[in-house]
Structure 1
Amino acid sequence: MRSSRVEELITIGALARASGLTASALRFYADCGLLAPAEVDAATGYRYYTRSQCERAVLIRRLRGIDLSLEAITEVLAADLDRAERLLDAHVAELQRRAKAAARVAAQVKRALGAGHGTAVPAAELARAIAQVGPAAAVDDSVLTGILVEADATALTLTATDRYRLSTRTIAPLRDGGEWSAVVGAATLASLRPWLDSIDEVVLAPRESGFALTSGDAEHDCAGIAEPFPDYRVVLDGLPAVRTRVLMPRTALLDLLETAGDDSLVCAVDGSVLTVSGAVAATRLPAVVTGAPMDLAFRSTVLRPAVASAVGPDLMVDLAAPDQPVVVRSATDGDLTTLVMPTFVPNTEDDR
C-alpha cells in the first residue's frame, strides 16, 4: 500500500522567524513570483508555507544580501550546480566582502546574547531607515512630527506620515526584545544618525515614555509623544485594488529622474516596457508588467525621493488608477513602502 505524507503548513510569521526575513519581505517575494506560498486561505487571504520552503527563503535572503537582482536569483535557484557556480563567480568580490561582514555580525550577535532587554538591530540600517522614513513626517502637527516605532518578534517598523504622504520601513532584528511601540520626534531621531553610523549595533529598549538606544556604555533617551499615532494600516488596507503591477530595476529609473530636474513626467506602462516622457525625449525602460496598460503623470521632485530611498536593486510599483496613490515597494531583509500621489492626466480622446 502506498502512503502519502502531507507536509505541515506554517504561518508567514513562523517562516519569517525561521528565515530571518520579515513577513512584509516574504509578501514581496510572493507577489513577484520568487517564493509563492503553498496555500492561501480564500476567505481570509492568510498565506501559509511549508517548512521545506525555509531553505529557499534563507537562500533568497543571502543572495539579496549580495545585491543580486530578482532575475539573477531566479536563475541561480533554477540552475544546475555548474551554472549556479558560474553565475555566483561574478560576485566573488562581494562574497569576500560578505565574509568580513559575517565576522562582524557574529561579534554583534555575541554581544547581543549578553546584552540586556531590548530589540537589537544593525545601527547603520536604523540610520538609513530614519533617513528614508523621516521626510514623510509633518512639520507643524504634534504627533505627525514623530516617527512611530513598533517592535515585534520579526521586525522593527518605522512609519511616518503627514496625511498626504506615507512611508513605512521594516528592519529584521538581530534579537527579539518583545512587542512594544512608541512615537518619537523625527528630528530627535535624525540627530542620532551620525552616532548610529559610527557603531555596529544598537539596542532599543522601551521606556515609560519613548525608548532608549544603547550601544556599549553609550545611551540616548528619546522622549515619546503621548498623542496616539494614526492607524496607518487602515490607510494601506483601504487602498483600491491593484490593477497593474510593475517590476523594474531601481537604478535605471533613478538615473532618469536625476536628469529630469523639476519636469512633470508621464509614465506609460504597457507590456514589458515603462516609457517615461517629459520635456526631454521619451525613454523606454525594461520592466515586467502584470495587468492593464496605464498612463500616469508625476512631478519628478515627488517621485524621485521615493525611488532614491528604496532598498535593494528592484522596485515593485502597484497601480490602481491614474488618480489614485501609487504604492512603491522594495525589499532586502526588510522592506520599504511609500505612497506617491500622481498628477491625473485626462484622456482627451475620451472627453470629446
Structure 2
Amino acid sequence: MNITKTEKSRIEEVDFNNLTFGSVFTDHMFFCDYKNGAWQEPQIVPYGPISIDPSAKVFHYGQAVFEGMKAFKDDAGSTWLFRPEENWERINKSSERLAMPAFPKEFFFKGLETLLNLDNDWIKAGDGNALYIRPFVIATQPGVSASPSDQYRFMIICAPAQAYYSGEVSVLFAEKYSRAADGGVGFAKAAGNYASQFYPTNLAKERGYQQIVWTDANSHEYLEEAGTMNVFFRIGDTLLTAPTSDRILDGVTRKSIIQLAKDAGITVDVRPVKVSEIVAASKSGELKEIFGAGTAAVIVPFKSFGHQEKDYELPAQEDSYAARFKKALKDIQYNRATDPHGWRYEVK
C-alpha cells in the first residue's frame, strides 16, 4: 500500500463538541482504482478533492454504492469496529446489483485499519462520540455510452460524529411516493435510492414531520423502512419488523437488535406489517413504541406518526425497548459489556 501522509493535521481546527454530522473529515482518505480488469495498488493520501472526467459514468448512469460504519474508542484508548465484515459483504452485494466489481476483503480491511491508525486522534472516547466511516465505489470510466463502466474507484473517508438526530421525531406514513419496488435496487445501498427520497421527504417536512416511513410500492398497505433506517414497532411486548427483501435494506443495526431482543427473551415477529394494523394498535392503546435503527442514528424513537391527515401520538415508556437496545448496543460498541456474539472487531 502506498501511503502519503499529510504535512500538517487539521485536527486543531475542529470543535469536537459542536459537530454537524458528516461535514468535517479526517486528515487522510483511502482509495483504490479498478482498471484493466483488476484492482490496482491501494493508496492512502491526504484528504482533499479528486480529479474526475466530466463524462465519468457515475455522473450519467448512477453507478455508485456506499456503506456506513463507525469506529469507537473505549476508555482504555483501544479502537473498535462493529461487525465490519457485514459492511464488506454488503458493499459487494450492492456492487454486484449495479454491475460493479467486488472489492477484495484483504484490501478492505488493510486499508480501513491503516487509515484508522493514521487518524486515530480523530476518534474520541466518551459516550456518543464515534468516527463515522464512509466506504464507497464510483464508476470513473469516461464516456456517455449507456453501458457499465470498466473503471471504478473505491474510497474510504471518515468523519468524527456525535448524535445524528436530536430532539423528538415525528414521521409520516407514505401514501403516494415509494422508496423501492419489487425487482429493483432497494436492498442495495445505491446512491440513487437516497436521491429519490429527498423530494417526498421535503414535502413531509413542510407538513411538520422529520421523516417518512416508506410503504410498499404496489398498494401502500405495508410499512417497510423509516427514512434512511429500518423500522421497528412494539405492540404490547412483541417487537415487529418487516422482513428483508429486494426492497428493504438488510441493516446491520436491524439484525443486531433482533438478536439482542431474542437474547432478552422478547418475542420478535419478522413479518409484513400492515399500516392498518399499526393504526388500529395505536387507537386501542396496544402500540407502545415505533423506532428507527441504523448505523448513523443507532436507534431513534418516534413520538408520533401521521396517516391520512391524522396524527397519532405514541405513549411515553419508562422502560422502552428503544432505550434498552440502544444502551445494549452502545455498551458492546464501546467495549463496556461482554460480546457474546463476537461483534466487536479491534483495530490493532
Do Structure 1 and Structure 2 share a fold, with TM-score over 0.5? Answer: no
Which structure has the highest helix share of the two? 1
